[in-house]
A and B are shown apart, each in its own frame.
Chain A
Amino acid sequence: MSTHTVRTEPVEVPARLRQAQPERAVSAWWQAAPFTAVFAVFFLVPLALVVMVSFWNFNEYELIPGFTLRNYFNIFEGCSHLTDNGDLCVTLSTYLSTLKFCLLVWGITLLLGFAVAYFLAFHVRSPGVQTALFVLCTVPFWTSNVIRMISWVPLLGRNGLINQGLVGSGIASQPVEWLLFSDFSVVLAFVHLYTMFMIVPIFNSMMRIDRSLLEAASDSGASGWQTLWNVIIPLSKTGILIGSIFVITIVMGDFVTIGVMGGQQIASVGKIIQVQTSYLQFPLAAANAVLLLAVVLMIIWGLTRLVDIRKEL
Chain B
Amino acid sequence: MSARASEPRAPGFWPLALVFAAFVLFIYGPMLTIFVLSFQGPEGGLTFPLRGLSLHWFHKLAEGLGTVDIGAAFRRSLLLGAVVMGFTVALSVLAGLAFRKKLAGGNALFYVTVASLIMPSIIVSLGIGLQFRLIDTGLKALFNTLGATGMLENYGTALGLMTSALGAHLTWTLPFGLLIMFAVFNRFNPAYEEAARDLGATPWQTFRHVVLPLIGPSVVGIGMFGFTLSWDEIARTSQAIGDVNTLPLELQGLTSTVTTPAIYALGTVTTIVSFLVMGLAVGLAMWLGKRQRRSQS
Residues of A near any B CB (own CB < 8 A): 10-11, 13-14, 17, 24-25, 27-29, 31-32, 34-36, 38-39, 41-47, 49-50, 53, 62-63, 112, 115-116, 118-120, 122-123, 125-126, 133, 136-137, 140, 142-155, 157, 159-161, 164, 192, 195, 224, 245-246, 249-250, 252-256, 259-260, 264, 270, 273-274, 277, 282, 285-286, 289, 292-293, 296, 300
Which B residues, 253 to 297, have Cβ-Cβ distances below 8 Å to chain A?
A: 255-256, 263-264, 267, 270-271, 274-275, 278
- Are B46 and A296 in contact, with the CB atoms below 8 A? no
**Residue B127 at the chain A interface, CB threshold 8 Å:** yes
- Are B127 and A49 in contact, with the CB atoms below 8 A? yes
Interface flags, B82-122, vs A, CB<8A=1, else 0: 00000100111011011101111010010011011011111
**Residue B174 at the chain A interface, CB threshold 8 Å:** yes
Alpha-carbon gap, A152 to B168, bound state (A): 29
Alpha-carbon gap, A94 to B55, bound state (A): 44
Residues of chain A contacted by B122 (CB below 8 angstroms)? 253, 255, 270, 273-274, 289, 292
Residues of chain B contacted by A259 (CB below 8 angstroms)? 252
Q: Beyond A35-B174, A39-B174, A142-B274, is A151–B267 a contact (Cβ under 8 Å)?
A: yes
**Residue B162 at the chain A interface, CB threshold 8 Å:** no
Alpha-carbon gap, A228 to B216, bound state (A): 39
Alpha-carbon gap, A259 to B171, bound state (A): 24
| A-B CB contact pairs (8 Å), 26 listed | A17-B197, A28-B102, A32-B95, A32-B98, A35-B109, A38-B167, A39-B174, A46-B126, A49-B131, A63-B133, A119-B17, A133-B20, A140-B28, A142-B232, A145-B248, A146-B248, A148-B30, A152-B30, A153-B47, A154-B30, A154-B34, A154-B37, A270-B120, A274-B238, A282-B126, A282-B130
- Are B27 and A112 in contact, with the CB atoms below 8 A? no
Give which listed residue, B26, B27, B271, contacts A144 with CB less than 8 A.
B271
Query: Distance in Å from the Cβ of B101 to the closest Cβ of chain A?
Result: 4
Q: A13-B200, A112-B23 are in contact. List 19 more A-B contacts (CB 8 A).
A: A29-B104, A31-B97, A32-B109, A35-B109, A42-B128, A49-B134, A50-B123, A50-B126, A119-B16, A119-B20, A123-B12, A146-B252, A151-B30, A151-B33, A155-B33, A192-B27, A254-B235, A256-B252, A277-B126
- Are A137 and B127 in contact, with the CB atoms below 8 A? no
Residues of chain A contacted by B128 (CB below 8 angstroms)? 42, 46
- Are A38 and B170 in contact, with the CB atoms below 8 A? yes
Query: Distance in Å from the Cβ of B223 to the closest Cβ of chain A?
Result: 14
Contact count A vs B, C-beta below 8 Å: 268
Alpha-carbon gap, A24 to B4, bound state (A): 52
- Are B198 and A153 in contact, with the CB atoms below 8 A? no
- Are B31 and A253 in contact, with the CB atoms below 8 A? no
- Are B234 and A24 in contact, with the CB atoms below 8 A? no
- Are B101 and A142 in contact, with the CB atoms below 8 A? no
**Residue B191 at the chain A interface, CB threshold 8 Å:** no
Query: Distance in Å from the Cβ of B275 to the closest Cβ of chain A?
Result: 7
- Nearest opposing residue in chain A for B253, CB measure: A146
SS class of chain A's interface: helix, strand, loop or mixed? Answer: helix
Alpha-carbon gap, A45 to B130, bound state (A): 10
Interface flags, B196-224, vs A, CB<8A=1, else 0: 01111001000000000000000000000
- Nearest opposing residue in chain B for A30, CB measure: B98
- Are A143 and B232 in contact, with the CB atoms below 8 A? yes
Query: Distance in Å from the Cβ of B166 to the closest Cβ of chain A?
Result: 9
**Residue B124 at the chain A interface, CB threshold 8 Å:** yes
Query: Distance in Å from the Cβ of A205 to the closest Cβ of chain B?
Result: 14
- Are A145 and B234 in contact, with the CB atoms below 8 A? yes
- Are B112 and A119 in contact, with the CB atoms below 8 A? no
- Are A45 and B47 in contact, with the CB atoms below 8 A? no
- Nearest opposing residue in chain A for B87, CB measure: A38
- Are B48 and A161 in contact, with the CB atoms below 8 A? yes
- Are A53 and B130 in contact, with the CB atoms below 8 A? yes
Interface flags, B69-87, vs A, CB<8A=1, else 0: 0000000000000000001
**Residue B245 at the chain A interface, CB threshold 8 Å:** no
Alpha-carbon gap, A153 to B38, bound state (A): 13
- Nearest opposing residue in chain A for B33, CB measure: A154
Residues of chain B contacted by A17 (CB below 8 angstroms)? 197
- Are A44 and B112 in contact, with the CB atoms below 8 A? yes
Give which listed residue, B17, B97, B203, contacts A123 with CB less than 8 A.
B17
Alpha-carbon gap, A245 to B178, bound state (A): 19
Give which listed residue, B4, B47, B251, contacts A161 with CB less than 8 A.
B47
Residues of chain A contacted by B168 (CB below 8 angstroms)? 42
